[in-house]
Amino acid sequence: MIRRDYLLRQMEEFVAAMSKLLGLTKDAQWEEASTVAGGQFKAIAGASADELLRMSDTELLAQLVQDGPTHLLESKIFMLATLFKAQGDVLASQEKFEESGPYYLKGLHLLLDTFARDEMAARPDFVPTIDAFLIALHDTLLPLNTSVMLMRYYEQTGEFSKAEDRLFAMIEAEPGNEELLNFGIVFYQRLLGFTDHTLAIGSLPREEVKASLAELEKRKAGTN
């Protein structure tokens, strides 16, 4: 009960801070917005935004575990992902798009990693959706590892057509990458294990799965 009350209080304080940050951003009070965001980065992760950006995804998770009880980890990840998105928005509102991109990517990675580790993780209402991050990154060429994480997320959520789109975007970017071709072949082989109904719901009918699998196998044969 004490843990639950503490978590609820922390969430309420965070949502209030985000509301304030949003208002400051809309009013173009950039310095004040950055001050609020900086305080939240310190409160949640015990480090500055710049320090967190320089960390790998693994190092960032380790920082969150180190800075507080492990039972609060998922909640802290959700809050931090939201904060990265908000800080990216502050920068983008000032047309500092190159600076905003890394914040959006870091927040996106936090969410994708969380959903990959726990399929039952429930995204709180205040947390931006995956699509919200992708819209913010629409002019950004996503790194290969980000596209792989997205593809796995879409497969996990049954959005097979979106997963396929990510796969072919990666393959077109690196057409000679045999490892990617193998990755795609295994993906389609997994899909063939689903029912026709499930594939149809995922907007990727069985015949399309078979055709795409054959195409990748042909491409792979051409690389050898």
Rounded Cα distance between 161 and 157, Å, is 11
Rounded Cα distance between 176 and 215, Å, is 14
The pLDDT of residue 54:
95
The pLDDT of residue 5:
62
The pLDDT of residue 190:
97
The pLDDT of residue 65:
84
To the question of pTM greater than 0.85 for the whole model, the response is yes
Residues in the chain predicted with pLDDT less than 70, given as ranges, are 1-7, 67-71, 224
pLDDT tens for 20-52 read 998 999 898 989 999 999 999 998 899 999 999
The pLDDT of residue 4:
57
* Three-class HEC string of 81-133: HHHHHHHHHHHHHCCCHHHHHHHHHHHHHHHHHHHHHCCCCCCCCCCCCHHHH
The pLDDT of residue 111:
95
What residues have CB less than 8 Å from 119, skipping those under 6 apart? 156
Q: How many CB atoms lie within 10 A of CB 2?
A: 6
The answer to whether residues 128 and 83 touch, using CB atoms and an 8 Å cutoff, is no
The pLDDT of residue 117:
85
How many alpha carbons lie under 13 Å from residue 5 in its C-beta half-sphere? 2
Rounded Cα distance between 37 and 190, Å, is 43
